[in-house]
Amino acid sequence: MERRRHCVAAAIALVCAVTALAAPGTAFAAPAAPAAPMVPAALTAPAEPVPPGPPGGARPQQTLEQIRLEIEGLYHQAVSATDAYNLAEDQVQRQSTEIVELGQEAAKAQDRIDDLKQRAGATARAQYRGGGLPPEAQLLLTNDPQLFLDGANRFRQGQKATKDLLREMEQTQQELDSYARDASTQWRKLEENRLKQAKARKEIAAKISAAEKIEARLKKEEKERLLVLEREAAQRAQASWLASGALKVARGAEGAATEQGKKAVAFATAQLGKPYEWGAEGPGSYDCSGLTSKAWEAAGITVPRTSQEQWRQLPKVDIKDMRPGDLIIYHADASHVGMYVGDGAIVHSPRPGRTVTITGAGANKILGVVRPGG
């Protein structure tokens, strides 16, 4: 019993500690870079970025286009790490809540055990007042037949009550031990996910810093030329997507937007111009999935926090059937998401250094389309 009480105390102590440990990591934003000029729906961000070159920034032999691709690659990796950070943070919050609930249930179980012990003590005291003899011995010593029969009935009732009491104490103690084990398991998972958060945070900061160092070495005219190259790449990507016929097919379904879909689009487009910030869910800044999850939350529907979980959990639809409010998932690793607004365009929060904007749905390589709310 002493060992079990220590186990219970440890489980309850988790409740006290969880407040400090459950606090989500503090997100920090990359220093704001000049926002890309607003472009028509037919102009988009570049296609899926290629992996960056060796660390250390731009090299003299690199062309400006190669530098652009390297910067885009670094930001893409930062955005991918952001999805890992957001998932770990979401899991930390859920596990923290579970630990608190387990601690509360453990406290209730301990209260039941204390009550059962008091009842058992009352039974022992009653036996003591009866001369210390067990009930069956007292019954055998009586020479009154009626008292014997009455006593026999009370003895059977008392025996059953005692067995029920012991059984309830045993079951409650097992529950208490189970709560302690579950709390310990959740605690380990909590710590594992906090480590994942810290790792992702470091990776995000490193990738953003590397991209910023490359940009800082460029002259003003080179930075301006980079924006031109970005817009030109966007035009090529969107033109290729339009040539596939996807937009022409999709237009037939655009009038099918639901009321909830319209509310989600209205919320997302109201955030235009707000900066990208990794891990942010508004109201002043957003990352890509922070924008889409909050937009659908405003429409009364809860969707997963990360683009990867949105892709994994939400119903998938064909591009030809997409309608405003649907979420378009990008890249092979499902690391980016935008909300379709109709006429071949999306609203999204692109990457560090950019703001929430409307751009072409063909901005990046489309993995697929998912639909919140059915």
DSSP string, 312-365: HHSPEE-GGG--TT-EEEETTTT-EEEEEEETTEEEE--STT-B-EEEETTSS-
Query: What pLDDT score was predicted for residue 147?
Result: 54
Q: Which of 7, 76, 288, 331 is catalytic?
A: 288
DSSP per-residue codes, 264-309 = HHHHHHTTTTPBB-TT-BSSS-B-HHHHHHHHHHHTT----SSHHH
Q: Which residue ranges make up each domain of the chain?
A: 2-25+32-43+51-216, 235-370
Identify the three-state secondary structure at position 368: strand
Q: pLDDT: is 65 or 53 the higher one?
A: 65
Identify the three-state secondary structure at position 370: strand
Omega within 30 of 0 (cis) for the link into 283: yes
Percent of the chain with pLDDT over 90: 26
Q: What is the pLDDT of residues 121-152, one digit of tens each?
A: 666 566 555 555 455 555 455 555 555 445 54
Q: pLDDT: is 44 or 248 the higher one?
A: 248
User: Where are the strands (E) in the chain, listed by range?
Assistant: 316-317, 327-330, 336-342, 345-348, 357-360, 366-370
Q: Which fold does the domain 2-25+32-43+51-216 belong to in CATH?
A: Helix Hairpins (1.10.287)
State yes or no: is 288 an active-site residue: yes
Query: What pLDDT score was predicted for residue 94?
Result: 76
| pLDDT surpassing 90 at residue 326 | yes
Instruction: Of 105, 49, 101, give the one whose Cα is nearest residue 78.
Output: 49
Q: Which fold does the domain 235-370 belong to in CATH?
A: endopeptidase fold (from Nostoc punctiforme) (3.90.1720)
Query: What pLDDT score was predicted for residue 202?
Result: 85
Query: What pLDDT score was predicted for residue 86?
Result: 83
How far is the C-alpha of 212 from the C-alpha of 298, rounded, in Å? Answer: 34
pTM above 0.75, yes or no: no
User: Lowest-confidence range among 37-41, 207-211, 322-326?
Assistant: 37-41
How many residues appear in the chain? 374
Sorting pLDDT into bands at 50, 70 and 90, what band is 75?
confident
- Residue 220 CB: number of other CB atoms within 10 A? 7
Query: What pLDDT score was predicted for residue 142?
Result: 55
Give every strand in the sheet of 366-370, ordered side by side: 316-317, 366-370, 327-330, 336-342, 345-348, 357-360
State yes or no: is 331 an active-site residue: no
**Residue entry with tokens 């690199």:** 62
Mean pLDDT throughout 197-215? 86
| pLDDT surpassing 60 at residue 309 | yes
Query: What pLDDT score was predicted for residue 355?
Result: 95
Q: Which of 7, 76, 331, 336 is catalytic?
A: 336
Q: Are the CB atoms for 278 and 85 separated by under 8 Å?
A: yes
Mean pLDDT of the chain: 75
